[in-house]
Amino acid sequence: MLEHLEDLKIIRNIPKKSRFIFTVPSFTDPSHVRIYTEDLIRMRLPVEIKEIYRFNWTNGKWEFGGIPSKTYILLVDSVTI
């Protein structure tokens, strides 16, 4: 959901050391403010990442893991810092 919002503004309003679970996409869309990669999440967002789960677009559906695809969504389990 962070792709639709000003991500840093939202995260900075969450109390520090709070568990924060969010999703971000790898693909462009007119409603997306930005797209993300794992590297961009690690560099840009003020969170400590606990785990990242990748869901690939495969055969017309979102699939956890599986064959990596260009179109994917990342689900991130993190703690704000």
Residue type present at position 7:
D
Cα 19 to its chain centre, rounded Å, is 14
CB atoms within 10 A of CB 49: 13
What are the tokens at 11? 């995260």
pLDDT in tens, the chain (81 residues): 899 999 999 999 999 999 999 999 999 999 999 999 999 999 999 999 999 999 999 999 999 998 899 999 999 999 999
**Alpha helix (H) residue ranges in 1-81:** 7-12, 38-44
Per domain, the residue ranges of the chain are: 2-80
